[in-house]
Structures are given as C-alpha cells and as structure tokens.
Amino acid sequence: MDFSQFNAAEQAHMSRVIEKKQMQDFLRMYSNLVERCFTSCCNDFTSKALSSKEEQCMLNCADKFLKHSERVGARFAEQNAVGPGLSSLQTITMPHPLVGKPAPPLTTLLNYDGEVYEFIPEKVNAPTALFFFPKAGTYGCTREVCQFRDALVDESAFKDSKLNVIGVSPDPVDKLKAFAEKHKVTYPILSDEKGDARKAYCPGKGLFGLTEARVTYFINQDGTVRHNRLTGINIPTHRDALDATVNYGAHVKFVSKNLAELEAEKKKDAEPAASEPAPTAAAATDAPTADAAPAAETTA
C-alpha cells in the first residue's frame, strides 16, 4: 500500500491500524507457541519446576517453532508481492526520513570494551550495517548478533565489500562486555543507555510500543542511508512488529540483499562505457587526419 497519497493524519491512522494488526498476530503466534510446547513437553505436574528433560524439550520446541514462523513469514512476503521487487512487508513500510540523507555520526557511545567508539559514516570508506537490538542475552538478540558475526566470516559479499558492522543496544557496558566475550563478537557493540543513538536514528518502538525495536540500517560508502536505485523503493530498514520479536534472521538477509543490489548497481553504471562500440579499421581509414591535405582541383 502506497501511503504517499494520504495526508499526515491519515498516514498516522494507517500506521496505528497496521501496528494493532501486527500486535494481534504476534499475540496469537505467542499463544500458539506456548500451547504447542507446553502440551508437548510438560507431562509431570508433581513439581512446580520443570525437569531438565522438560526444559530442554521446551527450548527445542521453541527453536523449531520460531524457525518455522520465520520461513512462513518470508514465503508469505514473497507470495504477496505487488510489483517488481516489492514485497507485502515493504508495501506497509513508509519511507524513513533518513533515506537518501547523510547518516548521523555517533561519537560519544562506549563500545563493549569501555572505549569511546567514533562512527563518522562518510569517513568509513565502506558500506555499513548499523543494527539496533532491544536486549543483550535474550534469545532473538543473541541469534541476531551471532548471525552477523558468522556472516562476516562466511559470507563472501560481507568480506568482499569490507562491510562495517555495528550493533547498538540500550544495555550498559558491563552487560555488553560479558555478552560480547561469551559469544566472541568481532565487531563493535555500542551502549546507548542514554538513548542518544536512538534519538539520532529514530528506530521507534516494537510490539505496539512495548519494547525497543529491532532495526537495521544499511549505509552507503558515501555515508548516506541507502536508497534503492534499482527498484525505487525508499526503505532503509527491515522492520515490523514480528521482525522485532521473532524474525531476527531477516536482518542479515536484508544486508546481504542490499550488498547484492549495490553490486548490481555498480555493474549497471559500468555498462554504458563497456557497450560503446570500438571504431572499426575501415572507419579509421576513411576518417580524415590532421596531416591529410585536400586534393587540388585541376582546371582545363
């Protein structure tokens, strides 16, 4: 759905309607998760606490359910595409005000090692994936952070582009330090306790305002928040209520897609120069040269 034809009040109303629907979908999915895993795993009611076998069963069940939900969500978005390269998820996402504009610098936040980390987008000289996540140590955030860590090693597009990855969390430095060391994180994770980064980037809230949103920004090498030139879609983030809670795996995929599109743009820009025909030998022979003198006319 294109919101550009609506005024500000109508856009705000539509956003509230969409958020309400997303919240209902999330609660329905969460209820199904609890019912399925509890019914499948908890059989002994003689104790208040779960047995180790029951607890492991619950973890396995939840992991399988979340992966299934992620796959279903991805397929649903693909099947409901309404135009070239435009998914149903993207059609309900309004352009972010930072699209096509310089990404705000971050110069005062502490990295998990306690040192001030300066991020000045236009000086990085490489594309950057800047992702905001709600809480270190939770299941979804841990998986997301580790997926970015692994992609930097395993994904050729991440390595070839020299992608700069930065995580931002509202957690304090000491908690981020323990979290990063436990999971062997190889890129900066910045502590945004005062909310300065969130004020600058406006990622908003997730789950109908109940939690901090999980948002990823792709920033071009020139320091601007990416605008997709190939499809014309102004979407710098991958975000909706379900992604903020469940679809943690979508963020690495979003960055991979942007890297692929960036490479396609480079090839497209190089096409005109490569397609210009080289002058033929005959044309070169027929063409006059500066040294050639005009033939003298003879008169009878």
Catalytic positions: 141
b/e code 123-153 from CB counts within 10 Å (16+ = b): ebeebbbbbbbbbbeeebbbbbbebbbebbe
**Do 112 and 188 meet the contact criterion of CB atoms below 8 Å apart?**
yes
Give the span between the Cα atoms of 219 and 190, in whole angstroms. Answer: 17
- Give the containing element (helix H, strand E) for 206: strand 205-206
For β-strands 164-169 and 189-191, DSSP reports them as parallel
Read off φ and ψ for residue 253, nearest 5 degrees. Answer: -65, -40
Alpha carbons 168 and 187: distance in angstroms, whole number: 11
Gap between the Cα atoms of 63 and 203, Å rounded? 27
Q: Which parts of 80-185 are beta strand (E)? A: 110-111, 128-132, 164-169
Q: Rounded to an integer, what distance in angstroms lies between the CA atom of residue 124 and that of residue 54?
A: 48
